[in-house]
Amino acid sequence: MFELQEVCKSYVRRGHSVTALRASSLTIPRGDYAAIVGPSGSGKSTLLSVLGGMLTPDGGKVLLDSVSIYDLPVAKRTSFRRERIGFVFQTFNLVPYLTALENVQIPLFLAGLPDDEQQVRAETLLERVGLGERLHHKPSELSTGQQQRVALARTLANDPPVILADEPTGNLDPDSRRVVLDFFDQLHAEGQTILVVTHDTFVADRAKRIFHLADGAITEQSESSQLRVA
């Protein structure tokens, strides 16, 4: 699925170069469920952005299904990313003046689906996340947990084989957090590859593997404590 080869990314801060990511070798197989953990500034979000085709590394190769993402022309990379990768963010990124149904239809519209197919697909996904009665509510009319579920439904609109989630439960109460994590478990059971950036050990322990980052480098790979106990 994913393979990183000698990938590095640096930033210039206050006149000094800071290495945000240095991954000499990393392989994430199809169907994996991995958490990326580490202190603030360790490179977690940078790694996720590089994997997602959103942040060009300074060097190295990022392969997804044997395709070198950053060797693709920008237009093809955008199309490739839209077809293969779904993103879940802490801030949801819902369009405030659109309904839940319309928000979920956005990627379907961009993919060129006919209007009636867009609506059916969006309704089905919202029903799956328990919002079948909230189709025509705008984000301001939904709770924080419901907004995140709309964002999840939108992520699944094009049925991406990979889901990249950046602190997806950071703004949620414990009950909403559990709903989101149960949903990730379902998606993983159905064969989707999931990578979650998190500082929450409860979230990390739901994953199959945990990558530990420090100063941009992967210092340890381990099974979650949940699996070690089992």
For residue range 153-203, list pLDDT tens digits in order. 999 998 899 999 998 888 888 888 888 898 899 999 999 999 999 988 889
Task: Categorize the per-residue pLDDT at 227 as very low, low, confident or very high, splitting at 50, 70 and 90.
Answer: very low
33: number of Cβ within 10 Å: 21
Encode pLDDT of 199-226 as tens digits.
888 899 999 999 998 888 887 677 765 5
pLDDT at 221: 75
Task: Categorize the per-residue pLDDT at 230 as very low, low, confident or very high, splitting at 50, 70 and 90.
Answer: very low
Q: Does the residue 114 lie in any domain?
A: no
Q: Does the residue 123 lie in any domain?
A: no
Task: Categorize the per-residue pLDDT at 229 as very low, low, confident or very high, splitting at 50, 70 and 90.
Answer: very low
Q: Does the residue 159 lie in any domain?
A: yes
Query: Per-residue pLDDT averaged across 86-105, rounded?
Result: 91
Q: Which domain holds residue 184?
A: 2-95+143-229
- pLDDT: which is higher, 132 or 13: 132
Q: Does the residue 76 lie in any domain?
A: yes
Tell me the CA distances in angstroms from 93 to 32, 104, 109, 127, 152, one per residue in order.
26, 12, 17, 20, 11
Q: Does the residue 22 lie in any domain?
A: yes
Q: Does the residue 35 lie in any domain?
A: yes
Owner of token pair 């963010």: 89
Query: Per-residue pLDDT averaged across 24-33, rounded?
Result: 88
pLDDT at 108: 92
Q: Does the residue 14 lie in any domain?
A: yes
pLDDT > 90? residue 117: yes
Q: Does the residue 133 lie in any domain?
A: no
- The residues, ordered by sequence, that sit 6+ positions from 213 with a Cβ below 8 Å of its Cβ are 36, 37, 38, 42, 43, 44, 47, 219
Q: What is the CATH number of the domain that holds 14?
A: 3.40.50.300
Count of structural domains within the chain: 1
pLDDT at 33: 94
Measured CA to CA, the distance from residue 50 to residue 4 in angstroms comes to: 10
